[in-house]
Structure 1
Amino acid sequence: MRRSPLARPLTLLLGTTLVALAAAAPPAAGSDGAALPAVTPRAETPTLYDDAAGGNADADDPAIWRNTAAPDRSLVIATAKEGGLRVYDLEARPVQSIPAPPAPGPDDAPGRFNNVDLVHGLRLPSGRADLAVTTDRGHDTLRVYRIDRNRPGGPLTDVTDPAAPPVFSDGQHEINDQRTAYGLATWTDTGTGRSYALVSRRNTTTLALLELTATAHGTVGYHTVRTLDLPATFRLPNGSSWTPCAEPGELPQIEGMVVDPTGAGTLYAGQEDVGIWRLPADLSGTPHLVDKVREYGVPGRYDPETEECTPGADPGYGGTRLSADVEGLTLLTEPDGDGHLLASSQGDDTFAAYDREQADDNEYEGGFRVTAASPELDGSEECDGAAVLNAPLGRRYPHGLLVVQDGHDAPADGDRAATGFKYVDLADVTEALDD
C-alpha cells in the first residue's frame, strides 16, 4: 500500500541487520507470571457491549486528566472504538459520551476511536488549553477535543480542524482497507514547546511523527514531520530469519506507546508480537529492543479457514516477562525522576514494570496482576490500554490512579462481548512493586 506523498520522502527504513544485534542477546531471567502479586480495583466503569444493542462500543484505551484547580473533579477519558469516546469521573460514573463520526458513504467505514492521549497547555487563539487527542481508525485521522470541566453539556468540545488530512492514506479507497491510524502517544518537546502525536499504522510497522498546530479559528490540525518503519523480519541467533505469523499481507503492528518527556524525549513502542522498542521521540536515531515476548522466534503457520496461526516448536529465543500481545504502555513517574514503564502483557493477564533509567537498559523490576475485588467487581483480563497518574486526585485517590482496560468484563451477559475500565489505587500498585 502506498504511503502519503508527504511522508514518503522522509520515511526511514531499518533492515534486519540492526535487528540481528538486538535479537542475538540471550533472554534475561524473569519471574513466573502466576506468582506475581495481585492488586484489586476500587471501581469500574459501566460495561460496554460490542453489538448493535450496545452501540457497538468496545473499551480500548484510557487517559487520566487531572483538574489542577479541583483534583476531586478530575476525569478519565477513554475510547470505545465504534462507540466513540467516553468520559468518566473518579467514581467511574459516565460524564459524557461522544459518538464516533459517521461513515462518509454507504460503502465506507464509520469512525472508530482506537487510542487516546492528552496534550497540556497547547496555545489556541483563546488561550492555552488541555486537549484529548484520539486516533480515528475508521477515517485515518486524528480527532482533537478541548477539555473544560465546567462546560455545560460536557467537558469535551471537538476542535478538530475540518481540513485535517488522512494520516497515512491517499484517499477513501485506501482508508477503506483500514491500514489506518491506530496506536497513539502525545509528546511536547520541552526545548521548543511544540506538541506532537506519534501514531502507528494498523497492520504495518510504520510510525509517524505529527506536529499539532492551532489554526486562527481555534481548531487544531496536524502535519507529518517524518515516518519510520520498525522491522518486520528478525535474524535469530541460529542464523535463520523469523517473521511473526499473521494473515498474508499483514506485518507485526505497533499499538501501545508512551513518551518519556525527559531530555530530548524517548518513545517506548509495543510491537504486539515482538516486544517493546525504545527510540528517540522524534523518530531519529537507532531503535533498541528493550524486551521480547515469550513467543519471539516461534514459527507459525496461518490457516485461512480458521484465520488463526498454528505455532511450531519454540526455539527458546523469547523473553520471560511478556506474553503476546504487548499492549498498553504507560509511564509511572516519580518526583525524583525515577519511576517505571508499565506494560500490559495481554497473553497472561499481567503487567510488567521496567526501570525508567536507560543507563540500566530499562531493567525489569517486577510485575503484578489486577484481580477481582468481589464477584461484582472483577479484575482485568486481556488488557488493551492502560494509563497511570502519580499525582493526588482528591480524597478517593490521594496517591494517584491506575486505569486499565478489561477485555472480559464480568458478569457476562450471554454471548455479548463485554468490556470496561478498572480503577486501581496507585498506592496498591507501588506497594506490589516494592514487595
Structure 2
Amino acid sequence: MRTHRTARGAAALATGTALVTLLAASPAGAGAPGLPTVTARSETAALYDDEAGGNADADDPAIWRNAADPGRSLVVATAKEGGLRVYDLGARQVQSLAAPRPPAEGDAPGRFNNVDLVAGLRTAAGRADVAVVSDRGNDRLRIYRIDPARRGGPLTDITDPAAAPVFSADQAEINDQRTAYGLAAWKDTATGRAYALVSRRERTELALLELLPAANGAVGYRKVRTLALPSSFTLPDGTAWSPCAEPGELPQVEGMVVDPATGTLYAGQEDVGIWRLRADLTDRPVLVDRVREFGVPGTYDEVSEECVPGADPGYGGERLAADVEGLTLFLERDGDGHLLASGQGDNSFALYDREVGDGNEYEGGFRIGAATRTLDGVEECDGAAVLNAPLGARYPRGLLVVQDGLETPAAPDGEGGSRTSTGFKFVDLGTVVDATGM
C-alpha cells in the first residue's frame, strides 16, 4: 500500500529498534532509467474499491501449480475488504470468497491484505496445499485448503475458529487496525514444520507464527517470537533520520518473501528499503538496498495528509523508488535465482542476486508497459508472485503475476468523475528472462 513517501535506498548492517548507523554505501550500478519494458499477456477484470464494486481492492497474488495438470494451475489473490479471488491462467475468475463480517456493529470488517502458499501442510485430515492470508481487519491469519476438484470452487476455509489475534489484545485494539499486514509463508526443509511471518501495520514489528493442525482438519497457529526492525537511522553526517509519516506511525513492512533453501527472509520496509535476516528472526537484519528517498527529511502536512520533502542529502539508493513492495523469488533449477522487488514510485521492478554470499547484488530491472490500448501497463505495483515452472501451453516458461495499482481505463462513477480501479496482470516469464538476461 502506498503511504507518505520521503525515504531513500540501502546496503548496510543494522539492528535494534531505535537508532541505527549506516555502515556501507549502496551497491554500484545503473539506476531505473533505460530499463527494458515487457508487456502482460492478460489481465483480470478490474476491481473497484467502492460500494458499487464490493469494496474490492487488488493487493497481493500467489501462484498455485497444479502438478497433475499444470495448464489448470491457479492464481489466488487478495482483494482487501472484497476478500479473495481465484483466477485461472487465462485471468478469468473461478471463485470469489468474502472477507469475514464485523464481529459487531462498529467493529472493523475483515480485510485480506497478503497471501502466500504452503504445499503439503500437515492437517488432521491429511496433507494439503493451503493458501495463508493475513486478515488485517481481524488481526488474524486465515487458511484455505486448495482442491481443484472441489465443486463450488477450489478453496475451502479451514481456519481454526479458536485462532487468536496476532498482535492485538482485544477487539478495541483490533479496531485501531495496527494489525496483521504483510505475510510470507514457508516450510522448514530440516523439520518439515510450516510457518508464517507477519508484519504489523504502522509498526516495524514482525511476528513468527507456526502453523499447527487443529480439530476436524482445521489449521491454527502459535506465536513463536517477534522482532522489531529499526524506525530511526543515523546518517553518514551524524544526523538522525526517520521516514516522514502521519504522527504516531512508524515505517511499516508489507512485501516479504522467504528463500526456502536457506531460511532467509527478505522484508520490504516501505520507506526504507529491503532487509535480509533469518526467517526464524534470530539474527541481526542487514539492509540490502535503500530506497532513493532514504535520508530525505520531511514534514507532515495535516491539511493535505501528505509529507512535504526537504532537500535530498544524497544518502539514498539508486534502484528503488518508495514504496518498496511486491517481493518475490525467481528460483532457477540450478539453485541460482533472483529476488524481485517493485518500486512503486517509478513503476519499476528491480532484480537482485539470490546469493547472500555475493551481497544480493543488483542485477538489473524492467518495467511492464502497455500491450494494447485496453491491456495497459503496470503502475504503483503493490504485490507480485513468480513461478519458474512450465504451466501448460499458455505459459511454458513460467508466469509472473503482479498487482496493477492503477487499472485503466477507469470506469465512470456516475458523478462526472471516474472510479479508481485495480487488478492483476499476467506476464509470460519467458519475456522477462529474455528482456533482462536473467
TM exceeding 0.5 = yes
| 1:68 Cα offset (Å) | 0.1
Q: Which amino acid aligns with 1:134?
A: V
**1:219-298 pair list within 5 angstroms:** 219-263=218-262, 265-298=263-296
1:421 and 2:416 correspond: no
> Hey, what's the Cα distance between the residues in 2 that align with 1:330 and 1:112?
22
> Hey, what's the Cα distance between the residues in 1 that align with 2:178 and 2:26?
32
Provide, for residues 220-248 of structure 1, a one-character-per-residue CA deviation record: whole Å limited to 9, x for no partner: 00010000000000010000110000000
> Hey, what's the Cα distance between the residues in 1 that align with 2:86 and 2:388?
20
Out of 16, 22, 26, which is 1:14 matched to?
16
> Hey, what's the Cα distance between the residues in 2 that align with 1:15 and 1:55?
39
| 1:379 Cα offset (Å) | 1.2
| 1:423 Cα offset (Å) | 0.3
Out of 401, 405, 408, which is 1:407 matched to?
405
Give the corresponding residue for 2:129: 130
> Hey, what's the Cα distance between the residues in 1 that align with 2:207 and 2:123?
24
Q: Which amino acid aligns with 1:398?
A: P
> Hey, what's the Cα distance between the residues in 1 that align with 2:26 and 2:225?
32
Q: Please state whether the residue corresponding to 1:120 is helix, strand or coil.
A: strand
Q: Please state whether the residue corresponding to 2:176 is helix, strand or coil.
A: coil
> Hey, what's the Cα distance between the residues in 2 that align with 1:302 and 1:15?
22
1:176 and 2:169 correspond: no
Q: Please state whether the residue corresponding to 2:163 is helix, strand or coil.
A: coil
Q: Which amino acid aligns with 2:419?
A: R
1:366 and 2:364 correspond: yes
Give the corresponding residue for 2:61: 62
Provide, for residues 147-175 of structure 1, a one-character-per-residue CA deviation record: whole Å limited to 9, x for no partner: 00010000000000000000000000000
Deviates more, 1:27-36 or 1:211-220: 27-36
**1:297-336 pair list within 5 angstroms:** 297-336=295-334
Contact 1:347 1:382 survives alignment (8 Å)? yes
Contact 1:144 1:160 survives alignment (8 Å)? yes
> Hey, what's the Cα distance between the residues in 2 that align with 1:307 and 1:206?
24
Q: Please state whether the residue corresponding to 1:192 is helix, strand or coil.
A: coil
Contact 1:24 1:236 survives alignment (8 Å)? no
Measured on the aligned residues, the alpha-carbon RMSD in Å equals 1.0
Deviates more, 1:307-316 or 1:32-41: 32-41
Q: Please state whether the residue corresponding to 1:295 is helix, strand or coil.
A: coil
Contact 1:159 1:219 survives alignment (8 Å)? yes
> Hey, what's the Cα distance between the residues in 2 that align with 1:419 and 1:115?
15
> Hey, what's the Cα distance between the residues in 1 that align with 2:83 and 2:125?
27
Contact 1:215 1:221 survives alignment (8 Å)? yes
> Hey, what's the Cα distance between the residues in 1 that align with 2:399 and 2:230?
34
Contact 1:144 1:220 survives alignment (8 Å)? yes
| 1:211 Cα offset (Å) | 0.2
| 1:383 Cα offset (Å) | 0.1
> Hey, what's the Cα distance between the residues in 1 that align with 2:27 and 2:295?
15
Q: TM-score scaled by structure 1? A: 0.95
Q: Which amino acid aligns with 2:312?
A: D
The sequence identity of aligned pairs, in percent, is 70
Provide, for residues 199-219 of structure 1, a one-character-per-residue CA deviation record: whole Å limited to 9, x for no partner: 000000000000000113110
> Hey, what's the Cα distance between the residues in 2 that align with 1:107 and 1:46?
31
Q: Please state whether the residue corresponding to 2:184 is helix, strand or coil.
A: strand
Provide, for residues 27-81 of structure 1, a one-character-per-residue CA deviation record: whole Å limited to 9, x for no partner: 3333242310000000000000111000000000000000000001100000000
Give the corresponding residue for 1:71: 70
| 1:431 Cα offset (Å) | 1.1
Contact 1:79 1:85 survives alignment (8 Å)? yes
Q: Please state whether the residue corresponding to 1:176 is helix, strand or coil.
A: helix
| 1:25 Cα offset (Å) | 1.6
In structure 2, the gaps of 5 or more residues are 1-14, 413-417
> Hey, what's the Cα distance between the residues in 2 that align with 1:425 and 1:245?
37
Contact 1:81 1:112 survives alignment (8 Å)? yes
Give the corresponding residue for 2:143: 144
Q: Which amino acid aligns with 2:196?
A: A
> Hey, what's the Cα distance between the residues in 2 that align with 1:280 and 1:270?
14
> Hey, what's the Cα distance between the residues in 1 that align with 2:18 and 2:147?
47
| 1:15 Cα offset (Å) | 4.3
> Hey, what's the Cα distance between the residues in 2 that align with 1:78 and 1:331?
17
**1:40-55 pair list within 5 angstroms:** 40-55=39-54
> Hey, what's the Cα distance between the residues in 2 that align with 1:208 and 1:160?
18
